[in-house]
């Protein structure tokens, strides 16, 4: 029988500010620690009902894209404030739906509100508008130059899909939604069916912020529906101009195919599959192999390994120092208990992946932990192999989403370069080294540049800073577009495109391009950066 949770939940989509019961089937959230079903039932939309959300987004676009910076930024801050106002209820429901601990979810909530406020600052500052001005030069010879001004404009309504492993920071008000709204794009958000109540609570917070800011209600809609039908219908709808997705490779590539097959194709920014190799060098092992092993195990097992940057591969030198590291991993992991995974299906998929990896020739067990105290909490595991085996077996390159990793023993720098060249695209690549290792590392770095979006030294890939310089992306299959990031302020660029205005009268130009610079933006004039407040551009 369902277990009642948060009676304020209604179990319906929210389309342009209106609660909308679906006409399709219903789904429930469930507690992965117990497999208990949670109330309420969530009614799923059909494709015809989805059109109301996309139509509202289309209607909202013109007014939303034209917001002045202060109104726009304040709206994003309202969302953050509203999420914080429901913190106790939100954490309770998210714990019930995901099995994640309170501290992790409180931290994730802070990350969610923090990135909303960060994008509010980006909107106020305005550099994302990319203003460039080449003033007219009527006396230039041999040909005069026209007045040409450029800015970046929002693409239009964006479809965003909630992630399973981050019910807050990569979901309803997460990075994709925050960056799309910051760009001036209305969002139609497809909730993940694994945490529907969490999505509803945050969806209401956004909807309230839309109303409080006096915006068109179509700026945001929250929809529930089957991914195979509603998700595909959303991506194929002609109103939608871009897609943000975090999930499996199969799910991401299915959306990519749908978007590419449209009469007018659109970009899909999908974060999908990564095994995040870690390369440990001899000098690092000499410092403290046991401490390094403990840190590695913590990175593999944190959040039950359900992080997109979890280290699925670790390259360790052959020989005595590597043996010491492996023994320390065994000693640390053997006392570690499995943590509850997000859903029963994910736990089952992890078990199948671990069993397949264990069955491969040349793969041995290095260390295994203990089963956790709840349902769907399998024991974490580390397997071992060597470079030749890794190079010759595709199965060893596949992601196992959960607390599992493969330790690969290498004999030379050439081994590492060969293995790195064989890797698919990754979100991260990590180096553990000392000054004595730099000559060995040097030939590896250019290879890793072509394979990963973030390269880090003497740290662990789990834990992604939300800031201006972060890249959370990488070559396929880590993402569908290696030129972008889904974390950090650069994420806004995904939902913008440049437009040039030639000899347009000043009174008709958009505010960022006018001579008086009414929004007080930094602008690049004749190629030179002109800070906000500097003299207006010359105009013929």
Give pLDDT tens digits for 303-346: 999 999 999 999 999 999 999 999 999 999 999 999 999 999 99
- Sheet with 528-530: list strands edge to edge: 496-502, 148-154, 132-134, 523-525, 528-530
Superfamily classification of domain 277-457: Aldehyde Dehydrogenase; Chain A, domain 2 (3.40.309.10)
Question: Using CA atoms, how far apart are residues 300 and 101, in angstroms rounded to an integer?
Answer: 17
What separation in angstroms does the CA of 5 have from each of 38, 203, 287, 421? 6, 17, 50, 50
The alpha-helical segments, DSSP class H, found in 379-436 are 387-392, 413-422
Question: Which candidate in 59, 271, 286, 493 is catalytic?
Answer: 271
Q: Which of 181, 202, 179 is nearest to 191 (CA)?
A: 202
Superfamily classification of domain 13-20+48-130+143-272+488-492: Aldehyde Dehydrogenase; Chain A, domain 1 (3.40.605.10)
So what's the pLDDT on residue 537?
52
Q: Phi, psi at residue 57, to the nearest 5°?
A: -60, -40
Expressed in percent and rounded to 5, the helix, strand and coil fractions of the chain are: 40, 20, 40
Active site residue 308: yes
What is the secondary structure of 7-67 as a DSSP string?
A: TT----EEETTEEE--SS-EEEEEETTTTEEEEEEEEPP-HHHHHHHHHHHHHHHHHHHT-
So what's the pLDDT on residue 536?
55
Q: Which of 184, 145, 191, 187 is nearest to 164 (CA)?
A: 191
List where CATH 3.40.605.10 sits in the chain. 13-20+48-130+143-272+488-492
Per the listing, tokens 């493969």 go with 406
pTM: 0.95
Question: Using CA atoms, how far apart are residues 228 and 251, in angstroms rounded to an integer?
Answer: 9
Chain centroid to CA 524: 31
- Residue 270: partners with Cβ closer than 8 Å, 6 or more residues away: 243, 245, 246, 247, 252, 253, 255, 256, 479, 480
Question: Using CA atoms, how far apart are residues 345 and 154, in angstroms rounded to an integer?
Answer: 38
List where CATH 3.40.309.10 sits in the chain. 277-457
- Residue 388: partners with Cβ closer than 8 Å, 6 or more residues away: none
Sites in the chain below the pLDDT cut of 70: 1-7, 535-540
Question: Using CA atoms, how far apart are residues 317 and 326, in angstroms rounded to an integer?
Answer: 10
- Tokens in use for 32? 């992965």
Question: Using CA atoms, how far apart are residues 471 and 483, in angstroms rounded to an integer?
Answer: 10
- Would you say 307 and 346 are in contact if contact means Cβ atoms under 8 Å apart? no
Question: Using CA atoms, how far apart are residues 419 and 412, in angstroms rounded to an integer?
Answer: 11
Tell me how many degrees the CA angle 95-99-102 measures, rounded to the nearest 5: 45
What is the per-residue pLDDT across 426-466, written as a single tens digit (0 to 9) for each? 999 999 999 999 999 999 999 999 999 999 999 999 989 99
Length in residues, the chain: 540
So what's the pLDDT on residue 123?
98
Per the listing, tokens 């920071």 go with 169
What is the DSSP-derived secondary structure letter of residue 489? G
**Exposed e or buried b per residue across 186-215, where buried means at least 16 C-beta atoms within 10 angstroms of its C-beta:** bbbbbbbbbbbbbbbbbbbbbbbbbeebeb
So what's the pLDDT on residue 2?
36
- Tokens in use for 360? 């491969």
Question: Using CA atoms, how far apart are residues 537 and 199, in angstroms rounded to an integer?
Answer: 47
Question: Which candidate in 77, 200, 308, 399 is catalytic?
Answer: 308
So what's the pLDDT on residue 229?
87
CB count, 10 Å around CB of 437? 20
Q: Which of 193, 129, 158 is nearest to 53 (CA)?
A: 158
Q: Phi, psi at residue 436, to the nearest 5°?
A: -70, -20
So what's the pLDDT on residue 535?
54
So what's the pLDDT on residue 329?
98
Q: Which of 431, 93, 442 is nearest to 292 (CA)?
A: 431
């Amino acid at each position: 029988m369902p277990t009642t949770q948060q009676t304020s939940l209604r179990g319906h989509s929210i389309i342009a500010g209106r609660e909308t019961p679906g006409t399709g089937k219903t789904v429930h959230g469930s507690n992965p620690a117990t497999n208990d079903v949670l109330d309420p039932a969530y009614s799923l939309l059909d494709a015809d009902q989805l059109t109301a959300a996309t139509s509202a987004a289309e209607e909202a676009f013109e007014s939303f894209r034209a917001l002045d910076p202060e109104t726009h930024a304040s709206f994003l801050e309202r969302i953050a404030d509203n999420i914080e106002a429901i913190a106790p209820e939100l954490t309770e429901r998210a714990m019930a739906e995901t099995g994640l601990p309170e501290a992790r979810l409180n931290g994730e909530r802070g990350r969610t509100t923090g990135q909303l406020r960060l994008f509010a600052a980006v909107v106020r500052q305005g550099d994302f508008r990319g203003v460039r001005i080449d003033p007219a030069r009527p006396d230039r010879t041999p040909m005069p130059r026209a007045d040409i001004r450029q800015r970046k404009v929002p693409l239009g309504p964006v479809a965003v899909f909630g992630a399973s492993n981050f019910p807050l920071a990569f979901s309803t008000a997460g990075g994709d939604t925050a960056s799309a709204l910051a760009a001036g794009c209305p969002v139609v958000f497809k909730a993940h069916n694994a945490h529907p109540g969490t999505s509803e609570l945050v969806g209401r917070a956004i909807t309230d912020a839309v109303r409080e800011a006096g915006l068109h209600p179509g700026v945001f809609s929250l929809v529930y529906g089957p991914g195979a039908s509603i998700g595909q219908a959303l991506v194929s709808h002609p109103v939608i101009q871009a897609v943000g997705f975090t999930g499996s490779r199969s799910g991401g590539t299915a959306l990519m195919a749908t978007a590419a097959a449209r009469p007018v194709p659109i970009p899909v920014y999908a974060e999908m599959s990564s095994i995040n190799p870690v390369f440990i060098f001899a000098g690092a092992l000499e410092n403290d192999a046991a401490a390094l092993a403990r840190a590695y195990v913590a990175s593999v097992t944190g959040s039950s390994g359900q992080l997109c940057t979890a280290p699925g591969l670790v390259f360790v030198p052959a020989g005595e120092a590597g043996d010491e590291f492996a023994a320390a991993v065994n000693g640390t992991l053997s006392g570690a208990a499995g943590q509850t995974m997000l859903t029963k299906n994910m736990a089952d998929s992890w078990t199948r992946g671990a069993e397949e990896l264990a069955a491969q020739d040349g793969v041995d067990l290095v260390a295994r932990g203990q089963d956790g105290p709840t349902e769907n909490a399998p024991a974490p595991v580390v397997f071992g192999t060597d470079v030749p085996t890794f190079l010759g077996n595709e199965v060893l390159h596949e992601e196992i989403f959960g607390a599992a990793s493969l330790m690969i023993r290498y004999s030379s720098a050439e081994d590492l370069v060969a293995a790195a060249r064989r890797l698919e695209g990754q979100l991260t690549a990590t180096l553990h080294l000392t000054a004595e290792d730099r000559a060995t590392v040097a030939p590896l770095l250019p290879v890793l540049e072509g394979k990963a979006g973030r390269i880090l030294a003497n740290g662990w890939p789990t834990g992604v800073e939300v800031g201006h310089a972060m890249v959370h992306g990488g070559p396929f299959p880590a993402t569908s577009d290696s030129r972008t990031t889904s974390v950090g302020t650069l994420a806004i660029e995904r939902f913008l495109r440049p437009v040039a205005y030639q000899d347009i009268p000043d009174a008709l130009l958009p505010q960022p391009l006018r001579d008086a610079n009414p929004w007080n933006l930094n602008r690049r004039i004749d190629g030179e950066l002109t800070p906000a407040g500097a003299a207006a551009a010359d105009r013929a």
